[in-house]
Amino acid sequence: MCFRLDRYARPIIVLALMSIAALGLSSPRPVVADSNLSPHAPIVINGDADFTSANGVTGGTGTASDPYIIQGWDIMSCCNLPGILIRDTSAYFVVRNVYVHSNDLPAYGINATNVVNGVIEDSQFHLYFSGITLDSTDNFVVQNITNGGVSRVYVTNSTQVRVSDDYGGADIIIKSSDGVWVSHNNLNSIDYIGSQISVSSSNNVSVLDNLYYSISLGNSSNVTVSGNNLGADCCTTDFTGLTIENSDQVTVSSNYFYSDWGIVVLDSGFLEISDNHLSFTSKAAIILRSCSDISIQRNQVNTAGGYNGGIVVESCARINIFENSMSRMDDICCQRAIDLLTVSLSSNVTIVGNNLVNSTTAIGVSDASYIIINGNNVQSNVQGVVLNDTMNVQVFHNNFLNNIIQAIDTNGTNNSWNNYPNGGNFWSDYTGVDNCSGPDQDMCPGPDGLGDTPYVFNHNRDYFPLMTQYSVSWQPTSNVMWMGYDWDGGGEETLTLNGQFVVSLPATDTPQNGGAWTFLYLNITSFVVQGTNTLTFTHANWDCGVSDDVASLQVTRGTALVYSGPSPLPLSCTQSVTYTFTV
């Protein structure tokens, strides 16, 4: 497959839809073909007045507690027209237990345009183009749908939509929409190799716990991609698991990738990529190109080599690469060169606490400046750390263990491989002794844990090599998440932790949050202290008409829940909200 490869990150905030108005939803359940379905002509509803028995309505009055029901029909679509067409309605309705099918190409299942308060559930489609199309809809649910043929779900110009628990079908396409939740959809992998979930020109989207081939994000903001299996348990790896282009404020966490290209990020910023498992990435696990302010942490990378194999950073700035485990898996094909971490044409990159094992080159940096390589375990590689044409690179407190070539530093300017009195790096093949101390190691006797003679390698030296391996203890990530009511004005809510300013939210005016609950998430690791912590919310004094409540607040540290707060609490111009928790 081909694709085009042509900001230390601030706290990442993810806004996502968490609740949708009650629409008489049933719990998701397997769809069972109903032999008692009755044939019905295609249904056309233009406005609330058309919810009639002649148009397939079998019950209900159109209220939230008693929605109109359309159910029990076998409908054959024809002649480029959908089986069910609903336009310009605001009454509550549920379409349930219908079967829409056609052998036409293209064929359409259910189309809803300029519609609010709808549900489509427990139904089956067998079509060759579009199963469900939602255009300019609001407060809509699609759940527990079985798709045959190539029946895509298409959502455009819509708000507060949930697509969940669907099986089979092809693409799920989200375009120019806000507040969309795509979760627990299971692609029939044998029939639909290459199908994807596509998000473009959209905000506040959550893509969670889906079994699919791939996901693409373009020109979008405030997106969460979490818990997905991208590979669909199938028979090929010849695809890209996740592509992100021209997007910001994206969180990618706890996904499983089984593809030649794992995550590709182009022209994007303010991303967190964490706790993912990337296996059999025969081309590259993570590629960043022309990006900034990105954190890559706690990912498991098992690469089979190819293009570069591991993590590739090119033409980027302010990138943090922390606590990842990267290694070469058994090569089932051929002996390919594998570089686990490659940085080029970039600046302000921090590489800390990673394990890099069994590769051609563990860390390669070229044409780059202001790089920190600290606290990494570099073990059993052909080459450990290789610097070429670099400036202001600091390499210290790393463990170089049994690499054939431990390190190379060519054409470097102001690079440093040691830090006195804290020392440089541990080298498994260093044969010096520690009898002395001092900046010149001439205060004898008086061992200080640093070698008395430099460790010399290709084109540079470590003047203060460590005599024992360096041990690093890393602070687990701390996050806070909560529901906010009426958080719609740019910067109207301010969070402080232990008296330090954290952030003002929302970042910009977000009118869709007015009079509604919204899910918010924040990484607060850098603000948390051991012991008691005080988190305070205050409200701006220029928007006092509505109490902007806070509810369901939780604080996590690593995988542990350390605090769960009372719910809800009022937040207003005259009343702040304070939580106290201990870590």
Per-residue pLDDT of the chain (583 residues; tens, 9 = 90+): 333 333 223 333 333 333 333 333 333 333 344 568 999 999 999 999 999 999 999 999 999 999 999 999 999 888 878 989 999 999 999 999 999 988 777 778 899 999 999 999 999 888 777 789 999 999 999 998 887 666 789 999 999 999 998 777 678 999 999 999 999 888 754 455 667 899 999 999 999 988 887 899 999 999 999 999 887 455 556 678 899 999 999 999 999 888 778 999 999 999 999 999 887 667 789 999 999 999 999 998 887 655 566 899 999 999 999 999 888 765 444 456 688 999 999 999 999 999 999 899 999 999 999 999 999 999 999 999 999 999 999 999 999 999 999 999 999 999 999 877 889 999 999 999 999 998 889 899 989 999 999 999 999 999 999 999 998 665 666 778 788 888 888 888 899 999 999 888 887 777 777 887 776 767 787 788 889 999 999 998 887 877 888 887 888 775 467 888 777 888 888 889 999 999 8
Answer yes or no: are the C-beta atoms of 229 and 216 closer than 8 Å: no
pLDDT for 5 equals 34
Residues 321 and 469 reside in one and the same domain: yes
Do 496 and 417 share a structural domain?
Answer: no
Which residues lie across from 289 on neighbouring strands? 266, 314
CATH classification at residue 490 = 2.60.60
Residue 101 maps to a domain: no
Residues 414 and 513 reside in one and the same domain: no
Q: Is residue 387 part of a domain?
A: yes
Residue 12 in any domain: the answer is no
Domain boundary, last residue among 445, 474, 503 = 474
Residues 426 and 364 in one domain: yes
Asked if the structure places residue 544 within a domain, the reply is yes
The verdict on 378 and 495 lying in the same domain is no
If asked whether residues 552 and 408 sit together in one domain, one would say no
- Asked, for residue 319, whether it belongs to a domain, the answer is yes
Predicted local distance difference test score (pLDDT) of residue 237: 60
Beta-sheet pairing, 84-89 with 108-135: parallel
- How many domains would you assign to the chain? 2
Q: How far apart are CA 529 and CA 511, in angstroms?
A: 35
Residue finishing a domain among 418, 439, 474? 474
Name the token pair of 573.
Answer: 């111009």
Same structural domain, 537 and 403: no
What is the pTM for the complete model shown? 0.76
The pLDDT of residue 8: 27
Phi, then psi, of 55 in degrees rounded to 5: -100, 25
* Count of residues making up the chain: 583
CA 538, CA 107: separation in Å to the nearest integer? 53
| 47 domain residue, yes or no | no
Q: List the structure tokens of 118.
A: 């709808």
Query: Is the CA virtual torsion 259, 261, 262, 265 positive or negative?
Result: negative
- Domain with 523 in it: 478-582
**422 plus 492 within the same structural domain:** no
Q: Residue 54 falls within a domain, yes or no?
A: no
Do 460 and 550 lie in one domain? The reply is no
Rounded Cα gap, residues 325 and 215, in angstroms: 24
Residues 325 and 388 in one domain: yes
Give SS3 for 54: helix
Q: What is the pLDDT of residue 244?
A: 97
Beta bridge partners of 113: 87, 135
For residue 260, being part of any structural domain is answered with: no
Is residue 338 domain-shared with residue 428, that is, in the same domain? yes
Q: Which of 439, 474, 509 is the last residue of a domain?
A: 474
How far is the C-alpha of 126 from the C-alpha of 132, rounded, in Å?
11
484 and 358, same structural domain?
Answer: no
328-350 burial: b if 16+ Cβ within 10 Å, else e: bbeeeeeeeebbbbbbbebbbbb
Residue 213 confidence (pLDDT): 79
